Amino acid sequence: MAKQRITVAKGDGIGPEIMEASIRVLEAAGADVEWDYIEVGEKVYLSGNTSGIGKEAWDSIKKNKVLFKAPITTPQGGGYKSLNVTIRKTLGLYSNVRPSLSYAPFIPTRYPGMDVVVIRENEEDLYAGIEHQQTPEVTQCLKIITRPGCEKISRYAFEYAKAFGRKRITCMIKDNIMKLTDGLFVKVFYEIAKEYPEIQADDWIIDIGMAKLVDAPQDFDMVLMPNLYGDVATDILGLMTGSVGIAPGANVGDDIAMYEAIHGSAPRHAGKGIANPSALLLSGVMMMVDIGQARIAEKVHNAWLKTIEDGVVTYDLARKLKAEGREYTEVNTEEFADAVIERLGQKPTVLAPKVYGDAVKIKKAVLTDVRSQQMDLIGVDIFTRGDFNDAKVIGDALVNAAQETGMRLKMISNRGLKVYPNGHPETFLTDHWRCRYYAKNQGDILKNEDITNMMNIISTLDGIEVIKTENLYKLEGELAYSLGQGE
């Protein structure tokens, strides 16, 4: 069989040092792969390419379908886009897998017994980066959560649990506030959970859920989160294991995957040869499992565990062991790789040896087709800008504006809170007013021209400017928008 070709990006800062060390260990363990090197990151950015990646690099990743990537430095300012976000979204790497495992007492941590895998949705949520200045006072960022996105990530989480013998998945969301977006995320999670009765499924609201996760991580097995919460949670968990230098990660799509450490390029340590290559090496272990070389993954992981047990560590962990008065041998990046290579074939004696199953096959999601569902247009939110200190003034004007139309003003809200009719004088008001109109006759379905007509009438009013609209639908007979606070 032809060797698996893997695209390698050596990265910036400490990247080349830790990549060279990781590849040396994987090769010494007998990894049956060929490496194709690409240039991405700082050099490419500074050559004028604001995405940090050129055509040849894209071609190599698309052809090999596996990218092993060291951290890169994003130059500050100048409109440079995050290479990671670009790669994840362009190639559909929707699943961010981050295992957080403690290795106490060999790596000091306040959380011995922690063994949590976070699956973070990688493409959606506030990371769509759709932001607008709406009025001089008000900015907005759109949170996009889609049904296909939820189905893919939930399916991945359950398939991962099945493949790696995990027993429970906890979904963390804020669906008491974001009933539609986070509500969809957790709803789809439970829909998919029904197909995996052997895996326990539960959920927590993110705030108390995170508090519990940080207080007692040993009580959790796998955690599934939308993008933003997952971004915050995985850095916290990574550090809780003892060092960001040991936290690996994978970004996985249906056909392509990227493996990388969760940490950055640590530019202050670049060129000194002292960085910890463990996070990247362990990302390489995840890669070996996924490409079907589980024996190699096992061999490397167990040798790494033995190295850690023997107290052979880089400066980041040496500092911690010293503070605890433990014995250790401090080595540099290359010497650490040598120490792992020397122990290939050995297993840890105190920590649990790693066993990887041969056939880890993650099943692709078959997406539910919801595109033909019935959407009835029953109203519209017309967002306006206006310099008013009294909601009644703008409210009365907008009620009057609808008189000759088939629509009626139901309410106005300011920052989500209903302020008209019957607002409270104590409420702080901005220059941003959401005006909710429904069809005058309940049950009537509106047309687009009813909305443009209403917008045109509002545009003629003194001191009020239309900013944008959001349609109010019933989806298959159910309200498909949130009520205003106090509506």
Q: Using CB under 6 A as the criterion, which residues of the chain lie in contact with ligand NAD when the complex forms? A: 14, 18, 71-74, 84, 244-245, 260, 263-269, 275-276, 279, 316
Distance CA 4, CA 296 (A): 13
Q: At its nearest, how many Å lie between ligand NAD and the CB of residue 336?
A: 10
Name the token pair of 349: 């004696």
Q: At its nearest, how many Å lie between ligand NAD and the CB of residue 256?
A: 17
Q: At its nearest, how many Å lie between ligand NAD and the CB of residue 220?
A: 24
DSSP category for residue 297:
H
The nearer residue to ligand NAD, 127 or 437, going by C-beta atoms, is: 127
Distance CA 448, CA 470 (A): 11
Q: At its nearest, how many Å lie between ligand NAD and the CB of residue 300?
A: 17
Best CA proximity match to 181, nearest among 119, 133, 228, 221 = 228
Q: Check: CB of residue 84 under 8 Å from CB of residue 9.
A: no
The nearer residue to ligand NAD, 18 or 225, going by C-beta atoms, is: 18
Distance CA 104, CA 350 (A): 10
* Residue of this chain nearest to ligand NAD (CB atom): 264
Burial of 274 (0-12, 13-18, 19+ CB in 10 A): buried
The nearer residue to ligand NAD, 279 or 312, going by C-beta atoms, is: 279
The nearer residue to ligand NAD, 105 or 264, going by C-beta atoms, is: 264
- Kind plus residue range of the DSSP H or E element containing 256: none
The nearer residue to ligand NAD, 38 or 409, going by C-beta atoms, is: 38
Phi, psi of 119, rounded to the nearest 5 degrees: -110, 115
Mapped onto helix, strand or coil, the DSSP state of residue 277 is: coil
Q: Check: CB of residue 379 under 8 Å from CB of residue 472.
A: yes
The nearer residue to ligand NAD, 135 or 265, going by C-beta atoms, is: 265
Q: At its nearest, how many Å lie between ligand NAD and the CB of residue 36?
A: 19
Q: At its nearest, how many Å lie between ligand NAD and the CB of residue 257?
A: 15
Distance CA 127, CA 94 (A): 12
Residue at 338: amino acid letter = D
Residues forming beta bridges with residue 37, ordered by sequence position: 8
The nearer residue to ligand NAD, 263 or 385, going by C-beta atoms, is: 263
Q: At its nearest, how many Å lie between ligand NAD and the CB of residue 15?
A: 8
